[in-house]
A and B are shown apart, each in its own frame.
Chain A
Amino acid sequence: MSLTHPESATSSRADNPFAIPFDERVREALDNKSLKIAIDRTTNTARVKRAAAVASWPGFAQARDLGKRIKDHVISHLDHYLVEFEANAIRSGAKVHWASSSDEACAIVVDLCRKAGAKSVTRSKSMLGEEIGLPHALEEAGITRVETDLAEHIVQLAHDRPSHIIWPALHRTREEVAELFRTHHHRPQNSDDIESMVASAREELRGRFLAADVGISGANFLIADTGAICTVTNEGNAELTTTIPRVHIVTAGIEKLVPSMPHALVLLRLLVRSATGADLTQYTTFHCGPKRPGDRDGPEEFHIVLVDNGRTKMLGEGLEEMLRCLRCGACMNHCVVYRQIGGHAYGGAYPGPMGSVITPVLDGLDKAHDLPEACTLNGNCQAVCPVDIPLPTLLRGWREKSWREGLEPQVVRQSLGLWSFGARHPFLYRLGTAIAVRGMRLLAKQGWISSMPLASGWTRYRDFPKPAPRTFMEEWKQHQNKKARSQA
């Protein structure tokens, strides 16, 4: 049984977003009016709620600092905690698998599904699954995939990619979703009534949840001293994925480790309040091993796939701080660029500021070098990050690498080189600026320049004021000379 897809099935565009130049992806996003409406609705609410949650939490700053220290500690002792986690997970009856790349991770999961004789699997949204391309891998293997997360269900119906790490279908307005459901669901519903839309999806999917042979989920935390995993959702869909099927497979990045439950709880509070502004998610579940004799439910087999996929590489590359990321999405909700272009334009699995740091690791700087560049470095992402990741500094680090590797366009390199050369020679610089000012004045009409050669990027959208007749330095010099003369 597979879900019906729109005729315009997966295009190559969706498969390799980097095939389309960044500027074109941006243009497409900016031209999409309903996208902007959708982004504003969700991110504005998220920002307001987060601000209220933080304001009503007197211990936020301390928790943030503690959270940062917990993650830093784990990351600098990753080997220790991995070994501890593995031993305890095995003791609880879980099977632990290691994957160094996305391909390896997908191969392990597909293999486990085959061994379980699975025709249909349920999946609970996990960013790692998106990162390693698991939906695609399952499809290729001919395994029917049922998304239990409502937003992922929408994404699957529309044959889209997720555009946000907390709200994968953020790019779709409620009205568009209603339209989608009207086409694909059996039960008609009313677009103004979210309840009836949710009910429609539930009716459509419940049976399939129950029929699945394997459930695949992610993990928000891997708890080293017990070998347990923790997942949080607001729809309870992780529970449907992890308890009903006979086999449960967890895929998790190795940076999800925490030493113990109290550490997980500190990070959990930071994660949830930063993501949605709620005190806690509706569903917070801890799993430890498969069903034991006497247990009423739970899977018979419990597999954990620990995925590296570039993470250990980040350790040596000055990107270790990025491994603190809790995947809360606050940075993108507060990012002026994300809020204009949405998640798809970023191209990778992770959008927004954190995506601009991670995507070059996953997809290569040559493909993704625009992402660290397309940022105003205003610093708000770091200000709202619950674990204080210096995103602007990390983005500048990528820019430095792009510059060293010559990935920046020649015209940018040349004009900056020229500017810097001039700026190192004050006399030349003074001469150049004095000429520039006079030249610019010739272009002005009624105080403003509305078209300027070499600066069309500016004047296409805004006017530029007519500069004063002389530069500050010219005036200052004259002023000083006058003063000297009057003193003489």
Chain B
Amino acid sequence: MQAASPHNQHQDQASGTPKVGLFVTCLIDLVRPRIGFAAISLLEQAGCLVDVPQSQTCCGQPAYNSGDDNHARALARNVIAGFESFDYVVVPSGSCAGMIKKYPPLFQGDPAWQQRAEALAARTYELLSFLVDVRGFRPKGVTLHTSATYHDSCSGLRQLGVEAQPRALLASVEGLSLTPLPGHDICCGFGGTFCVKYPAISNAIVDEKARDIEDTKADLLLGGDLGCLLNMAGKLHRRGAATRTFHTAEILAGMGSGPAIGEEG
């Protein structure tokens, strides 16, 4: 699949102040709300009017990836209905944004819902690609004197073409030096339910990833998907590594001096 096109059909209608519905993702909701607030701040800086529909829960990915299409469809309907009124749906996670883009085939044989699913999929973006590709946004006046390395999560990278955008955004952060991560495009072994269903394999994969991260000697590990970040941060902590982990949105929103994942009291 190609990277999100900068020319969105809704851009005209949304010229001026686009109305953005933020899909928070269940992990951000539960574990690290700061990422949600960072996303809101960035979207507002990029000239958007942001709202967070209360009806949202989960994108349905755990069910979809488990082959449980009935539940996946039910959850998809909930997301479609809750976000239809926005010019854009923005998600601070490539994996959940990618899930919303996979809704249409779930409604094969149901043209009305399929059309609604398609319309929503077309207006759905991963946060960082939305900021760069649709809004041409770059952060201003953000400073963080430290070194970081970057992991590209698989769904964002391969499904949505999110690779250059986070790097372009992070280049605007004064004082931040980015060290390349060998194997930055290799899966960290999270895989949603995979990591709990096949914990030993997942562990072997993330252990290798953690070693690569430690070898960069960077102070921070950054990425765009909380699932993968929790996996890597949890492994780094278990290994006793000093690397601190943040979602890219937090750094860009000037929240990089706050607590990293696992440092919250």
Contacts and interface: CB of A to CB of B under 8 A. Distances in A.
Contact of A460 (B66, B189, B198, B199): B199
Interface string B194-208: 111111111111110
B21 interface: no
A376 interface: yes
Interface string B70-95: 01001100100000000000000000
Interface residues of B, number: 68
A468 interface: yes
A400 B58 CA distance: 19
Contacts of B234: 448, 458, 462-465
Given A378-B187, A455-B196, A465-B234, A340 B75 contact: no
B63 A420 contact: yes
Interface in A434-456: 436-437, 447-448, 450, 455-456
A293 interface: no
Given A26-B201, A473-B24, A465 B230 contact: yes
Contacts of A341: 201, 204
A378 B31 contact: no
A424 interface: yes
A457 B196 contact: yes
B66 A408 contact: yes
Interface string B176-219: 00000000011101111111111111111111000000000000
Interface stretch (A78-86, A112-120, A187-195, A411-419): A411-419
Contacts of A336: 186-187, 189, 205
Most buried by B among A341, A417, A424: A424
Nearest to A370: B198
Contact of A472 (B36, B200, B235): B36
B237 A448 contact: yes
Interface stretch (B3-11, B49-57, B109-117): B49-57
A377 B141 CA distance: 38
Contacts of B24: 472-473
Given A378-B187, A416-B71, A447 B264 contact: yes
A426 B56 contact: yes
Interface in B198-250: 198-207, 230-231, 233-235, 237-238
B74 A436 contact: no
A378 B78 contact: no
25 contacts: A336-B189, A341-B201, A374-B194, A374-B201, A377-B154, A377-B191, A378-B154, A380-B158, A399-B66, A403-B66, A412-B66, A413-B68, A419-B58, A420-B68, A423-B60, A424-B75, A426-B54, A426-B57, A457-B195, A457-B196, A458-B199, A464-B230, A465-B261, A472-B24, A473-B54
